[in-house]
Each structure stands twice: as structure tokens, then as C-alpha cells.
Amino acid sequence: MRVSVLASGSKGNAIFVEMDGTRVLIDAGVGVRRVARELGALSVAMESLDAIFITHEHSDHVKGLETILKRTDAPVYTRPGTLRAMTPDDLPEDRLFAIHDSVEIGSLRVSAFDIPHDAADPVGYEITGSRKCTVATDLGFVTDGVRTAMEGADVLVFEANHDLAMLRKGPYPWPLKQRILGNRGHLANNEAGRAIARLRSRPQKIILAHLSETNNRPDVAEETVSQVLAENGVTLPLVVALQDEMVSA
């Protein structure tokens, strides 16, 4: 299995997962040139994608989808509410498919699970074949369903959006701070660490993702999550996903 976060953050998100000969893209929040460049660095042609899965309709997850679809015949899957919210007039309807629970793509099963976020019908994804990858970002909090999807993942791509002190002291207006801190907002570094520590079957590799450029830093996210894990007697390898640089696990 190969998991590469092509881009991660408020400016755009895209994750490439290859397992058992099947290739999928999770989210299309950056442009076709960026996706093609990063996939090219992995010796992967965009035309070889087997499917694209969208977590929700916010622009940092879908703004590149229209141009990407011109370079690949891959079908697009997401929840019905997200399909309605994605301005489908700009997208080829015959390429858009609803996913309710799960779908089989090549040798993989991709399962959608609900996430608490302020979007139409947001989801995370559990990708299973010979191994398992779980993608869970844009979380106001970790529900039982999210925790179940995280259990037993070989690779977990998990949100560590903000440092609480940086957010509270930072330049964002108070209503935006309230949105981020709310139960349909984003997950703080310490909350991410506690959620991972509570897992019964912990992942082999973790990629911390969707970091705020204003209210977080890669070193702060890694240090905070590592410290919370250590306080719970847990040591796990962490990689921090970046906005402008691909990282792999």
C-alpha cells in the first residue's frame, strides 16, 4: 500500500491511495497541474486513476475537480447531499455517483462514514483491501463511528487542525474561532492525540493532516500529539502533511 498526501490544508486537499493494483484519489482541492506533478513524482499517470472520492463540497476539497476530470475517465463518488451542493452544472453528470455505505473499486472496498462538520453531508473514507487506510479530517469531534473507522488502520490520515492557544490568541474574528472550536468545526492537536491514544488497535503509521497555516505549525502539531500519546504510554510514528509539499507513508 502507498498513501501520499499530495496537498493538505485550508488552500487545498488531495490524497492518493494505491493498494492491490487499484488507485484512488481522495478529494480534489488543488488544480490539475499540481495533482499531475505530484502523481508524476510517484510515477503514476493521472489517467490511471480508478476513482475519485470527495469528502464534502467545501472549495478546498473540490475546486480542482472540474479540470481533473478532463484528464481522467475516473468516476466520482460522494454522498447525495454533497453531489447536490457541488454545483453539478459545472461537472459531467454521467461521471458522478452517490455512495451511501460502500462501493467496490477494483480490488478495494471504499466505505464512507459520517463526520461532524459544517457541510451538506460530509464523510471520511475507509479503504480496505489487503491492508487498510482511513482518512478522517474536517472533524468537529471524534464520534463513535469515526473511532470505529480508525480502529485497525494500517495508515491513518487524521486531522490535527489547530493549536488551541494559537487559535484563541490569533487574528481570526471571534465568530470564525467559534466555528472552528464547535462540534462541527475542526479538531485540535491535543484532541487528535487523545483520540489516537484511545484506540484499541492503533495504526502502524499516522499522517497528521489539514493543519491551519494561521493557527498551527508542523512542529507544534507533531510535538503536541506525540506528548499526548506519551502521556498515555503510546509511541507511534507521525508524519505531518503539508500544504505545498507531498508527503508519503
CATH of the domain at 224: 3.60.15.10
Q: Phi and psi for 226 in degrees, rounded to 5?
A: -60, -40
How far, rounded to the nearest angstrom, does the alpha carbon of residue 246 sit from its chain's CA centroid? 14
So what's the pLDDT on residue 87?
72
Burial class (CB in 10 A: 0-12, 13-18, 19+), 54: buried
pTM: 0.97
Q: Is residue 248 assigned to a domain?
A: no
Do residues 119 and 138 touch, judged by C-beta distance below 8 A? yes
Domain of 10?
2-241
**Residues ≥6 apart with Cβ < 8 Å to 194:** 228, 232
In a domain, 201, yes or no: yes
| HSE of 12, CA atoms in CB hemisphere, 13 A | 18
Q: Give domain status of residue 131, yes or no.
A: yes
Q: Give the chain's domain count.
A: 1
| Closest C-alpha to 53, from 22, 21, 14 | 14
H or E element in which residue 25 lies:
strand 22-26
Distance CA 172, CA 177 (A): 6
What would you measure as the largest C-alpha separation in the chain, in angstroms? 51
Residue 246 lies in a domain: no
Residue 32 in any domain: the answer is yes
Q: Is 85 domain-assigned?
A: yes
Would you say residue 99 lies in a domain? Answer: yes
Q: Does residue 249 fall inside a structural domain?
A: no
For residues 75 and 193, what is the distance between their CA atoms, to the nearest angstrom? 35
CB-based contacts of 95: which residues, under 8 Å, 6+ apart? Answer: 69, 73, 74, 75, 76
In the chain, the amino acid numbered 173 is P
Q: What is the pLDDT along the chain (249 residues), one digit of tens a residue?
A: 999 999 999 999 999 999 999 999 999 999 999 999 999 999 999 999 999 999 999 999 999 999 999 999 999 999 999 999 987 667 898 999 999 999 999 999 999 999 999 999 999 999 999 999 999 999 999 999 999 999 999 999 999 999 999 999 999 999 999 999 999 999 999 999 999 999 999 999 999 999 999 999 999 999 999 999 999 999 999 999 999 999 998
